Amino acid sequence: MARYIGNTDEDRRLMLKEIGYPDIESLFKAVPDSVHLKDKLNIPEALSEMELVRSMKNMAMENVSTDDCACFLGAGSYDHYIPSAIDQLVSRQEFYTAYTPYQPEISQGTLQAIFEYQTMICELTGMAVSNASMYDGATALTEAAIMACEAVKRPEILVASTVHPESRQVLKTYAQFRNMKVTEINFSNGQLDMDDLNSKLSSDTAAVIIQSPNFFGIIEDIGKAADMAHANKSLLVVSADPISLSILKSPGELGADIAVGEGQSLGNQLSFGGPYLGFMAVTEKLMRKMPGRIVGQTNDAEGNRGFVLTLQTREQHIRREKATSNICSNQALNALQVTMYLTFMGKEGLKKVAELCLNKAHYAHDALVGTGKFSPLFTAPFFKEFALKSSENVYDLNGRLLESKIMGGYDLGKDYPELENGWLVAVTEKRTRQEIDLLAGKAGE
């Protein structure tokens, strides 16, 4: 970002003259005087460039990043390795300056990249159709719930309490203003309680939403949940970790109607929380109910391969009241990074990443339990994240670990009071045996 904007007083005078105003105050004369701020803003005085740069650097140095520490913190954002080629390519001007193809016929490069993204998401999820990506994982899940209610013409959503807490919060916020009822399903041994699901299914249930691997890192029985939902003429929405889909059966194979998830782990930086992107894929039957837009492949008048915006149901393209979604960002640059990552990794590379996560997570689990200071909260199978009961307060534990340049796990007690001193540990392919042994050694002290 440029530090210097070279507008002189003369430049400003000429610009104002060009648009017919003698001064800045006249430019804003349409703003009522009653809302004008008469006093100075309560902010520090201006600094020189040298002072400002030093001040910002000092503040930035207070952050602790994965460049400084071994990260065992997941809970929705994961420290996966990103090939260096991605940062280099995505910084090209034609990528990072392009937002949305409002004139798609002359945006063939952008459309092709989105088409390839959609194709890869369909292959990962086992679904028929993907859109051009969503704002993030939480809103993708919420949009899936809204779509399900519209498709089935029922008002209630059953959501597993093992779904990411933030996703459930976003879902409940939207439901308040759409006359939707959200009911949570309990868990048993860290998995969806099928008996509780069965008791809560009703003629009002539009969809059942589960996450697999769920917030505790545990793999859910998607097939059984799908059978129960479909027997009730409801839909099944599955939120999935895309890395896991290279070694686990896809949501589509197991009967899901809608697959969603957070795409950050596919080539996007942690970036202290964003920007990320959500992915969504559906069965062919639900294609026209999908939010966002879909890029399709065609041939032009001369028989050449080309790409078009096949479906455009965002409010930017059609009337607001007719739109399937009022969230208009499709996170195109982040989706491009996903496309690059999946292309570089390939089928076997992605599978290798997943296997490394799986094996290293189980090694870390056994090493931590072996210290005697931790016990498993659950015994159900997990992928790259697992929950332990700590004999020490989690806040204190993580503070001790940070002194050794280790980012500890997530405090489950924040979202699940009944899991006090529950510690959610994530292990990706980046973690070495030495780092895991150091974690176990320091945590076990």
pLDDT at 440 over 60: yes
> Do 91 and 77 lie in a common domain?
no
CATH code of 161's domain: 3.40.640.10
Mean pLDDT of 262-270: 97
pLDDT at 181 over 90: yes
Distance CA 71, CA 435 (A): 9
pLDDT at 1 over 50: no
pLDDT at 126 over 50: yes
pLDDT at 326 over 70: no
pLDDT (tens digit per residue) in 184-202: 999 999 999 999 999 999 9
Q: Look up residue 325 and give its two tokens.
A: 């979604």
Mean pLDDT of 270-299: 92
> Do 92 and 76 lie in a common domain?
no
> 409 versus 288: which is more confidently predicted?
409
Distance CA 26, CA 11 (A): 17
pLDDT (tens digit per residue) in 339-360: 999 999 999 999 999 999 999 9
pLDDT (tens digit per residue) in 49-94: 899 999 999 999 998 899 999 999 999 999 999 999 999 999 888 8
Mean pLDDT of 208-217: 98
> Do 95 and 77 lie in a common domain?
no
Q: Look up residue 427 and give its two tokens.
A: 């292990």
Spatial strand order of the sheet with 129-130 comes to 129-130, 278-282, 258-262, 235-240, 205-212, 156-160, 181-185
> Do 92 and 236 lie in a common domain?
yes
Lowest-confidence region among 116-120, 291-295, 420-424 = 291-295
pLDDT of residue 321: 67
> 260 versus 41: which is more confidently predicted?
260
pLDDT at 425 over 70: yes
> Do 306 and 386 lie in a common domain?
no
> Do 192 and 113 lie in a common domain?
yes
> Do 99 and 194 lie in a common domain?
yes
CATH code of 366's domain: 3.90.1150.10
The percentage of residues in the chain with a pLDDT greater than 90, rounded to a whole number, is 76
pLDDT of residue 314: 56
Confidence of residue 385 (pLDDT cuts 50, 70, 90): very high
Does 57 fall in a domain?
A: no
**Which domain covers residue 172, as residue numbers?**
84-341
> Do 360 and 261 lie in a common domain?
no
> Do 328 and 359 lie in a common domain?
no
- As for how many domains the chain has, the answer is 2
Domain end call among 294, 319, 341 = 341
> Do 170 and 216 lie in a common domain?
yes
> Do 94 and 228 lie in a common domain?
yes
Does 221 fall in a domain?
A: yes
